[in-house]
Chains A and B, each alone.
Chain A
């Protein structure tokens, strides 16, 4: 039955890559990046080809996409959303503001980029970030996840 177990483990590892469900959180963005992000779901880009679904629930999500700057108020919400996501999870920061605070970095209430609050795996630059760049960022997040998965799933030993 070892071959059967091996096939199951391989399918499980593959299914984590093939079914990334996204949670999108607008951390106080100007909505430029948010519109570009939603454009990925339209027939032009059709990210559902890759099994990507935009879910509204952190408990169902695998990848957290965050746009906009962090301030003391929404940092708690961001932390809460991150805590509610079950492992394995990855975080993608989208747009100049999400990366570093962008043009708002010197504002008195801005803490800076997303990585001031939660660990970020992939940074997608742009003001606003292009849909192609966002899709590329998600793919890179999946690659990082793939590199992490075998040790967890026990495929390396099999």
Chain B
């Protein structure tokens, strides 16, 4: 029971701290790649706290509700992950949160917000099959959807699921809002949709979506970590390599259109996943 409580506390408090620090480190590394110094490591926390203390300007009440729902769904999915629960359950709770973010953006009349929400839906459409197929692959290998069974598996999953890890990389790039898939909203200076799906979230609500994003980063990296669950050094190295590769891709590519995204991610991602699943099924 106490171990369960401990994992819940780590999930609720530790995950946003870790997620914020990852975003801060990401911004520094990105700046260095562009020949700049970059902001301090705790800049994301400055941004979030400032937004929390800004004047409340809510375009309508549903948006506030949706921001809270997005945060709660992200929080619950991370807590379930740290409690070593069922992978499918975690995935579906996370999907509910992603939907509420879109619903909140659709509830305002701003065209930027509306188009951003539609693009966010297309992004969800692109990455969700890949995550589901990754979970299916993990099930075919370990015979269980529960994380505790995956963690007790004696070989790293990466050797049996290499193509699914690449497919999960596509989902990670979309979910981290990195180029070339940062269609709906971007962390960088304004894009053609101003701030896309986040345009009409401001102050407190924007801070809530940002904190929810930190939770989601931790969750997605947690999914990646399952691929080398036998030893913590292997896990950390795998995550560092994967995240650094994401930053390189982000800096080396331009933003593409949603048609290209769906075509490319489905063609490449689903093909990679299918090859890997057939390989697993052949034994």
Q: Which of B12-20, B48-56, B68-76, B78-86 contacts A (4 or more CB under 8 A)?
A: B48-56
Asked if A15 and B194 make an inter-chain contact with CB atoms under 8 angstroms apart, the answer reads no
The contact string, 1 if C-beta is below 8 Å from chain A, for chain B 56-76, is 110000000000000000000
* B37 CB, nearest partner CB in chain A, Å: 5
Chain A residues, Cβ within 8 Å of B56 = 86
| Chain A to chain B contacts (Cβ below 8 Å), 7 pairs | A15-B50, A19-B46, A48-B27, A54-B190, A59-B199, A62-B50, A86-B56
Q: Known contacts A11-B49, A51-B47; is A60 also within 8 Å of B36 by CB?
A: no
B residues sitting closer than 8 Å to A (CB atoms) are 27, 31, 34-40, 43, 45-47, 49-50, 52-57, 189-190, 194-195, 199-200, 202-203, 206
Interface residues of A in 1-37 (CB under 8 A from B): 11-12, 14-16, 18-19
Complex partner residue of B38 from A18, A49, A57, A86, CB under 8 angstroms: A49
Asked if B31 and A60 make an inter-chain contact with CB atoms under 8 angstroms apart, the answer reads no
Interface residues of A in 55-113 (CB under 8 A from B): 55-57, 59-60, 62, 84, 86-88
Query: Is there a chain B Cβ closer than 8 Å to A120's Cβ?
Result: no
Asked if B194 and A56 make an inter-chain contact with CB atoms under 8 angstroms apart, the answer reads yes
Number of interface residues of A (CB under 8 A): 27
Asked if B199 and A57 make an inter-chain contact with CB atoms under 8 angstroms apart, the answer reads yes
Asked if B36 and A55 make an inter-chain contact with CB atoms under 8 angstroms apart, the answer reads no
Q: Known contacts A12-B49, A54-B190; is A60 also within 8 Å of B206 by CB?
A: yes
* A52 CB, nearest partner CB in chain B, Å: 9
Question: Once bound together, how far apart are the Cα atoms of A20 and B54, in whole Å?
Answer: 12
Complex partner residue of B194 from A12, A51, A57, CB under 8 angstroms: A57
